[in-house]
Amino acid sequence: MATSTSVPTSRFDGKLDALLRRELSQSEYERLVATEVCISVPRGSGKRTHGHVIIGPSHLYFAPIPVKKIRLLLALSDILSVAVIDDQPDFLSGKEQECTVHLSIEYKQNDQTTPTSSPNKKNLLTTSPTHSLKLTRPPAVSHDGEGQKKPEWLDLFLLQSETLFVSYLNFHLEDFQLGKRQYNTLILDKEGATQRYHSLKSDLYSAQTIQESAKLYLELSSALGLYFQLKLLYWQDNGELLLESLKDMKKWNESPLADVLEYKVIITEVILKVFQDTLVSKPKLSLLKRNNGQTLCELSECLLDAFVTDSLSDGKLMDELSVNCCAILYELSRVIQQVRLTAASSPPKHSQTVVLSIGHIKE
């Protein structure tokens, strides 16, 4: 039985990639986080299905092997907890049994699970009328003593011990359940996105005053919030605009303090936006790891310097700057975790490791 490692968006192989491009909107396809070959076993059903599990922006998808169609597996909003179980499936043997990672997902029953709508969204339910992939829906729904639907479990046996799938799922669920990501489905064609990005970058390089530069960064911030492709271009651009932003944060320090603070708030908003929603961007990880993490260190030092330099300032602008800097430092800590996980590529093995419990992260 073939296996594959977790892979980031736009890096899927062969038939699976063609299927995902065909069945998903461009916006959702570009935001796919990871995939892994697995065996899906809804607890209590006894039915096992071999296929690809895929982490999308708001859903888990499943593509049975041979790859011909994609189904909704679970809405991320329905997931209550995820755990890695240290056991070996009795339906496998040999190396396949030894290399399997058992992922147990507890979720609430939801009869109305549907994909998030978007202008270009294709109707996945035309090929599979099942709302959530329990593979076989039970004839009767179980309830607890108060008439509420009981949670159900889905067991996924990932056929690769050195997988990043569990870690990516953990990161993505944390963001989703805390409401940190707001996905925009507006689309620019490749030529239009590239032209807009390079036009903004060129204007920023030629700005002569802090006011002119701030106006352009505001325009960039707005565009990044609207068009996901611009975030990808930002990281694919060898870090040029990020490094320019770090220089600009120090460039106008002789200007009035209020102008400087507002300017830094705008730039940190831009940096924060390009970190968010780019969990598995390889160009981002490559840039921040470059030269033994020099760019990552420069960014961290610049943010910490903003704290020290402006710490005596009062008011709303300093509060906004502090919040933005802390949020970016948090995103940097996640990058460091990803780098470490990439080196280890294996989830922890304990009798039952709870990866995520939604009840523990309520705001």
Q: Please, what is the average pLDDT of the chain?
A: 75
Question: What span, in angstroms and rounded, lies between the C-alpha atoms of 353 and 82?
Answer: 9
Three-state DSSP class for 184? coil
What pLDDT score was predicted for residue 270?
A: 92
Residue 175 has pLDDT above 50, yes or no: yes
**Residue 178 in this model has a pLDDT that exceeds 70:** no
pTM beyond 0.75: the answer is no
Report residue 179's pLDDT band, with 50, 70 and 90 as the boundaries: low
Note the pLDDT tens digit of each residue in 296-342.
888 888 888 776 665 556 578 888 888 888 888 888 888 777 777 65
Taking every pair of C-alpha atoms in the chain, what is the biggest distance, in angstroms?
Answer: 72
User: 52-66, 110-124, 275-289, 318-332: lowest mean pLDDT where?
Assistant: 110-124
Model pLDDT for residues 104-158, shown as the tens digit of each residue:
999 987 765 433 333 334 433 322 222 222 222 333 345 555 556 788 889 999 8
Q: Does pLDDT of 359 surpass 80?
A: no
Query: If you average pLDDT over residues 25-48, what whole number do you get?
Result: 83
Q: Which two tokens stand for residue 223?
A: 């565009």
What average pLDDT does the segment 266-284 reach? Answer: 83
Closest CA to 67 of 133, 23, 31: 23
pLDDT for 51 equals 92
Element (H, E) at 334: helix 316-344
pLDDT value for 62: 93
Reading the block at residue 85, the tokens are 């179980």
* Contact call for residues 224 and 232 (beta carbons, < 8 A): no
Neighbours of 116 (CB within 10 A): 16
CA distance 135 to 14: 25
Q: Which CATH topology does 14-164 take?
A: PH-domain like (2.30.29)
For residue 66, cis peptide bond before it (omega within 30 degrees of 0): yes
- What is the reported pLDDT for 269? 92
Rounded CA gap, 197 and 211, in Å?
Answer: 20
CB 154 within 8 A of CB 105: yes
pLDDT at 214: 93
pLDDT at 332: 85
Q: Is the distance from CB of 61 to CB of 40 less than 8 angstroms?
A: no
Count of CB atoms within 10 A of residue 99's CB? 16
- Taking only the tens place, the pLDDT of each residue in 74-93 is 988 888 888 888 888 888 88
> What band does 181 get if pLDDT is binned at 50, 70 and 90?
low
For the stretch 217-249, pLDDT in tens is 999 998 888 888 888 888 888 888 888 898 888
Helix, strand or coil, per DSSP, at residue 187: coil
CB 103 within 8 A of CB 166: yes
What sign does the CA torsion over 235, 238, 241, 246 have?
positive
**Angle made by CA atoms 160, 164, 165, in degrees to the nearest 5:** 80
